[in-house]
Amino acid sequence: MKIAVLDWYTVNISGDISTAPLEELGDVKIIPLTSPEETAANIGDAEIVLCNKVMITREVIDSCPNLKYIGLFATGYNNIDTAYAAEKNITVCNAGSYSTNAVAQQTFAYILDYCNKIRDYDIAVKNGEWEKFPSFSYFPIPTAELAGKTLSIVGYGSIGRQVAKIAEAFNMNIVVSTRTRPENCPYEVTDIMTAVRKADILTFHCPLTEKTKGIINARLLSEMKPTAILINTSRGAVVNEKDLADALSQGKIAAAYLDVLEKEPMSPDTPLKNVRNCIITPHTSWAAFETRKRLVGIVCDNIKAWQNGTPINKVN
């Protein structure tokens, strides 16, 4: 079978992930990135297409009559016209829960960065400030313990649960707000505004839906403690970026850590670009080597299951 991989750079920029597992499954064409106007041509006569963010529209599907299977290097599949694919008897499979540990880990990297001020103290030491100080310990920049702080988690899927588990190890108070009340949840479960008001740290791990789009807005931010920090590793569009920039600039919240933005790559005119106490990473929380290797393994397992007539992780 012919397999077209449309945006391999979204999984493997530096060449550290082997294509060998894919090559065992068929005749593979690896394309680093695909623009919208190139999509149909890059798929060509392939039966299987693999992608991360490339749009597979009705028009693309109509232009590729050999297409039988669409596999995603991602959990989200809003870039695929799944309904039309089903009409055409094209199976669509995603990759779920591959990044749980990595995203939870980066969430706590943000939290520890804020509370321990390691970057700030490293700069101070390299600037010679410790050398000039008469006492053995130099601590002009306040740090904080996590024990006893309240972590409010919005979204309680696999990542939200893992974040809660780590927070428990730090002896934090955990509050959960989620769309459906989880069974046997050992933590306080409440509505989102109560969770927001209680939070010393507010972290979002929810899907992007009509209800969550722009949910981090001026009203929600006004309910946060001025000493609280916001973390978003879910989807960029859950944040109203102008409202967040205003809240940070006006000192209404202490800091924000963002791994996702509404437009990616980041637009040079995003209102958050140069805002004080806004730390932005370029959508890296999922991208640990082990995570990407696991992702490719899941994608390959999905193809094998489909080839054997027992598709898994099917979304249409």
Give the residue numbers marked as catalytic: 235, 264, 283
Phi, psi dihedral angles at 28 (to 5 degrees):
-100, 130
Structure tokens belonging to residue 185: 């949840």
Q: CA 181, CA 204: separation in Å to the nearest integer?
A: 16
DSSP assignment of the chain: -EEEES-GGGT-SSS-S-SHHHHTTSEEEE-S---GGGHHHHHTT-SEEEESS--B-HHHHHH-TT--EEEESSS--TTB-HHHHHHTT-EEE---SSSHHHHHHHHHHHHHHHHH-HHHHHHHHHTTTTTT-SSS----S-----TT-EEEEE--SHHHHHHHHHHHHTT-EEEEE-SSPPTT--SEE--HHHHHHH-SEEEE-----TTTTT-BSHHHHHTS-TT-EEEE-S-GGGB-HHHHHHHHHTTSSSEEEES--SSSSPPTT-TTTT-TTEEE--S-TT--HHHHHHHHHHHHHHHHHHHTT---SB--
